[in-house]
Amino acid sequence: MKNRDWTDGHVERWLPVLPELDPDIEGAIVRMKKLGVHLRRVREQSLVDFGLERHEFDTLHKLAGRGGEAAPSELAADLDLAPASVTGRLDALERRGFVRRSPSTTDRRRVVVALTEPGRLTWLGAMDVLGDEEYRLLGVLSRDERRQLNAMLRRIMIAAEETGGAGGAGGAGGAEETGEACA
């Protein structure tokens, strides 16, 4: 067979040991895991290339997802962190010139955190590396095949979320776990 990957050999090795093993299920699960690991590695390398720690990227990502401005309490909720933890993150990002804190124009008691242009460009640069790899990998499929794959994975995720095992409640937080391009 010409178009073989590592998983084909894995399944072949396990079939004699576990004859009841469904090779299609094993193959799909192993491939999804390996793709997840691969994309996580690409993401981590992009963070290194852009001089970002993961928590810095996650904070910039959540801020960008709110249109580039948010209250620290909103970021704390989005990141599922205590407000004091967010303050430390914002202090470091502000020192690097990636965010700016200023008093709210509508409520003097409130602080607004804004993504600066250097922060936005750094976040986008790290995002682009992963996005390019995602397009490269899924680019081997036609538009219809990508749509079909997405629909099939949705059905699988719905089944996983029904038992609460897929982190469905986090929804937008998936980017941090999987490395996906947008949340």
- Which pair of structure tokens corresponds to residue 10? 């894995």
Query: For a pLDDT cut of 70, what percent of the chain falls above it?
Result: 89
Note the pLDDT of residue 178.
44
Strands (E), 26-158: 69-70, 99-103, 111-115
Least confident residue range of 74-78, 81-85, 114-118, 145-149: 81-85
* Residue 109 per-residue DSSP state: T
Residue pair 67/61 in contact (Cβ under 8 Å)? The answer is: no
pTM: 0.77
Average confidence (pLDDT) over 26-52: 95
Note the pLDDT of residue 167.
62
Question: In whole angstroms, what is the distance from residue 104 CA to residue 122 CA?
Answer: 25
Note the pLDDT of residue 93.
97
**How far apart are the two ends of the chain, measured CA to CA in Å?**
39
User: Who wins on pLDDT, 167 or 97?
Assistant: 97
